[in-house]
């Protein structure tokens, strides 16, 4: 009898079918996992494009945009421009020899040997050239070399070039501040920079300096002319608003161009006004006079015997323009008597002399926004001789800006204000001011400065109508540990208008030489002082100082006009 047919599979067929179904399921699961992984990666890259660092660096740093820098009137001093930089991923270079040949032909200043070293490295990122021109960028991109491309960066540019070099400073290739206000903005000025930020708009407000670029240009021009005329090796100058402590101009020559690529600047190009210390000579006498008045040791009608040199131990202190007579205090000032000034300091006494110098800050490093700041050089041992010589600026060296700040405090009513390179109001300045002398002392100092501008060593700076006053200083420079009779530092510090002083000016010439016009003299009254007069004549109208003419001034103007007509 025959068995009926059935649909049942052979015994060995069922396991084979089940295994095939499992393989299909496994393949489907793998495809599903791969799909989810790809979808997840695409989603992440879409929503968070900056999360993958990779070898291609588009944003070098996650930080606030660098603020523009402007002067007190809104003139642009520093800003960023978009540039491209060439880079390579050596792991993607197929033919290194061909890449080197093409790149050096397209960008001639690329060095083939250095390029080979970069392209044979095991690293996945190497700079080829930073901050290239748009033409170079496009030419390299069009070569189509695998692994060679560019990233967008920022380049710092300085539209005013040399005019603000020492105060504005400069940055490196990664736009990190290296000197001047640029370094301040990255360092201790970080909070100031943050306060300028407008995160919602992705930018920062400009950092506004106290510098007036018009005044800066006039200062550079006149000091450059003086350096040439008197064959000096360098020079500098400062203009400061003594009611706020704002520095309107700070010049140091030789200077530099912050836009140049090679920034290996020489020592001569350092900022002489803050990073160097100098014996300012008789300019420091102003501090001694103020000290003597403030302690009540002397008054304007006091007398000092300057008939003979002052002998202290084996040292003899003499006068450059010896009068060999008893001098009143105003005469000690106008004749710049070392003997009289030293005796004033000795009458004050060693301890009180040091206390006063500490009070006005001359024992400490001056701290401003500029990172380049030198510490004063003081006598190693404060003896009777040290007090006598420091009284007239001998053996006692400070930053020129520091000396200017102290004199500003002596003339503005006695309010010591730390100088600033950032714009600030008079109210802000007074809130942080420190009283260093009595108002009466400041009034006496203004009288002496104006007297010296009329009939003393500062008379060549007295621009008609602007009531200039000041104090001269000529100091011998130290060469190989000894004072040189042939190398001098000539300086002048003054203010205008002296009836209500607003602006202080300091001019310094390093190793000026005598000329036929100076009758063989190289002291400051013949070089730094007239240079200051020329500067004041140019900048006073810019600063809104109105001239006031006395009958004597009108007579002088009439004589000058007559001489001019006669000369024509």
Tokens 């000369």 -> residue: 567
Closest CA to 390 of 344, 437, 435: 344
In this prediction, residue 526 carries a pLDDT of: 96
Span 238-272, pLDDT tens digits? 999 999 999 999 999 999 999 988 888 888 999 99
In this prediction, residue 50 carries a pLDDT of: 44
In this prediction, residue 497 carries a pLDDT of: 96
529 CB-near residues (< 8 Å, 6+ apart): 457, 458, 459, 460, 461, 470, 472, 492, 507
User: What would the two tokens of residue 282 be?
Assistant: 């008789």
In this prediction, residue 62 carries a pLDDT of: 46
CA contacts within 13 A on the Cβ side of 450: 17
Kindly state the percentage of the chain with pLDDT values over 70.
89
Tokens 């009926």 -> residue: 4
User: What would the two tokens of residue 381 be?
Assistant: 């041992």
Strand positions, DSSP E, 324-437: 326-328, 415-416, 434-435
Beta bridge partners, 504, equal 240, 495
Q: How far is CA 337 from the centre of its chain?
A: 35
Closest CA to 246 of 542, 502, 515: 502
Which residue among the candidates 249, 282, 337, 457 is catalytic per the annotation?
282
Beta bridge partners, 240, equal 247, 504
The three-state secondary structure class of 276 is: coil
Q: How far is CA 220 from the centre of its chain?
A: 15
User: What would the two tokens of residue 402 be?
Assistant: 């520091």
> Which pTM value belongs to this model?
0.84
Q: What's the mean pLDDT in 93-99?
A: 92
**Tally of residues, the chain:** 568
Give the least confident one: 44-48, 81-85, 393-397: 44-48
Q: What's the mean pLDDT in 449-473?
A: 95
Q: What's the mean pLDDT in 363-382?
A: 92
In this prediction, residue 199 carries a pLDDT of: 54
In this prediction, residue 191 carries a pLDDT of: 66
Decide if 177 contacts 167 (C-beta within 8 A). no
What architecture is domain 215-256+270-562?
3-Layer(aba) Sandwich (3.40)
- pLDDT-derived band at 138, boundaries 50, 70, 90: very high
In this prediction, residue 482 carries a pLDDT of: 86
Give the least confident one: 103-107, 423-427, 564-568: 564-568
Hey, where are the domains in the chain? 84-157, 215-256+270-562
Q: Tell me how far apart the alpha carbons of residues 527 and 18 are, in angstroms, rounded to a whole number.
A: 107
User: What would the two tokens of residue 268 be?
Assistant: 């001569």
The three-state secondary structure class of 324 is: coil
Assess whether pLDDT exceeds 80 at residue 47. no
User: What would the two tokens of residue 357 be?
Assistant: 């110098």
Phi, psi of 284 (to 5 degrees): -70, -15
Span 167-222, pLDDT tens digits? 999 999 888 999 999 999 988 766 676 677 665 555 678 999 999 999 999 999 99
Q: Is 282 a catalytic residue?
A: yes
Other CB atoms closer than 10 Å to residue 375's CB: what's the count?
Answer: 14
Pick the more confident residue, 369 or 37.
369
Q: What's the mean pLDDT in 19-25?
A: 71
Q: Tell me how far apart the alpha carbons of residues 281 and 278 are, in angstroms, rounded to a whole number.
A: 9
Assess whether pLDDT exceeds 80 at residue 39. no
Q: Tell me how far apart the alpha carbons of residues 177 and 300 are, in angstroms, rounded to a whole number.
A: 50
Phi, psi of 117 (to 5 degrees): -60, -40
Closest CA to 376 of 389, 388, 393, 355: 393
CA-derived radius of gyration, the chain: 35
Average pLDDT, the chain: 89
Decide if 238 contacts 406 (C-beta within 8 A). no
Span 502-548, pLDDT tens digits? 999 999 999 999 999 999 999 999 999 999 999 999 999 999 999 99
Q: Tell me how far apart the alpha carbons of residues 154 and 68 are, in angstroms, rounded to a whole number.
A: 12
Pick the CATH number of 84-157 from 3.40.1160.10, 3.90.1310.10, 3.40.50.12280, 2.60.40.10: 3.90.1310.10
User: Hey, CA dihedral for 4, 5, 6, 11, is it positive or negative?
Assistant: positive
Tokens 């002052």 -> residue: 310
Decide if 387 contacts 279 (C-beta within 8 A). no
User: What would the two tokens of residue 444 be?
Assistant: 């006496």
Which string of DSSP letters, residue by residue, matches 199-227? GGGTEEPPEEBS--HHHHHHHHHHHHHHH
């Amino acid at each position: 009898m025959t068995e009926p047919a059935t649909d049942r599979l052979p015994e060995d067929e069922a396991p084979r079918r089940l295994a095939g179904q499992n393989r299909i399921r496994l393949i489907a699961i793998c495809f599903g996992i791969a799909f989810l992984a790809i979808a997840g990666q695409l989603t992440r890259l879409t929503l968070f494009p900056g999360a993958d660092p990779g070898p291609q660096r588009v944003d070098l740093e996650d930080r606030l945009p660098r603020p523009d820098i402007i002067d007190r009137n809104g003139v642009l001093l520093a800003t960023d421009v978009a540039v491209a930089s060439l880079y390579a991923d050596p792991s993607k270079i197929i033919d290194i020899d061909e890449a080197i040949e093409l790149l050096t032909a397209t960008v001639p200043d690329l060095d083939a040997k250095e390029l080979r070293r970069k392209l044979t490295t095991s690293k996945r990122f190497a700079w080829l050239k930073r901050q290239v021109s748009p033409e170079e960028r496009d030419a390299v991109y069009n070569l189509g070399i695998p692994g060679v491309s560019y990233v967008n960066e920022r380049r710092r540019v300085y539209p005013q070039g040399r005019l603000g070099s020492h105060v504005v400073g400069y940055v490196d290739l990664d736009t990190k501040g290296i000197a001047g206000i640029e370094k301040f903005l990255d360092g201790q000025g970080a909070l100031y920079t943050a306060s300028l930020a407008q995160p919602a708009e992705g930018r920062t407000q400009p950092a506004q300096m106290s510098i007036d670029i018009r005044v800066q240009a006039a200062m550079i021009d006149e000091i450059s002319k003086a350096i040439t005329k008197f064959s000096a090796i360098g020079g500098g100058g400062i203009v400061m608003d003594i009611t706020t402590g704002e520095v309107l101009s700070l010049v140091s020559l030789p200077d530099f161009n912050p836009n140049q690529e090679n920034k290996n600047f020489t020592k001569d190009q350092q900022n002489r006004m803050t990073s160097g210390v100098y014996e300012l000579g008789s300019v420091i006498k102003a501090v001694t006079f103020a000290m003597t008045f403030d302690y009540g040791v002397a008054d304007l009608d006091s007398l000092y015997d300057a008939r003979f040199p002052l002998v202290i131990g084996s040292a003899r202190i003499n006068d450059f323009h010896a009068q060999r007579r008893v001098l009143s205090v105003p005469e000690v000032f106008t004749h710049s008597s070392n003997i009289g000034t030293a005796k004033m300091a000795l009458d004050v006494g060693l301890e009180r002399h040091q206390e006063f110098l500490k009070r006005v800050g001359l024992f400490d490093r001056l701290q401003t926004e500029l990172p380049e700041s030198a510490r004063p050089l003081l006598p190693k041992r404060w003896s009777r001789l040290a007090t006598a010589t420091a009284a007239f600026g001998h053996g006692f060296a400070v930053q020129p800006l520091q000396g200017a700040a102290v004199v500003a405090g002596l003339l503005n009513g006695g309010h010591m204000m730390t100088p600033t390179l950032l714009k600030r109001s008079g109210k802000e300045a007074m809130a942080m001011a420190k009283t260093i002398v009595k108002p009466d002392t400041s009034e006496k100092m203004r009288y002496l400065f104006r007297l010296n501008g009329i009939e003393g060593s500062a008379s060549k700076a007295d621009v008609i109508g602007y009531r200039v006053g000041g104090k001269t200083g000529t100091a011998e420079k130290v060469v190989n540990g000894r004072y040189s009779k042939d190398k001098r530092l000539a300086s002048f510090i003054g203010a205008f208008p002296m009836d209500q002083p607003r602006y202080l000016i300091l001019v310094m010439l390093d190793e000026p030489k005598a000329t036929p016009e100076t009758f063989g003299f190289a002291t400051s009254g013949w070089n730094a002082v007239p240079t200051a007069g020329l500067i004041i004549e140019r900048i006073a109208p810019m600063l809104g100082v109105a001239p006031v003419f006395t009958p004597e001034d009108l007579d002088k103007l009439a004589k000058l006009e007559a001489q001019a007509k006669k000369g024509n």
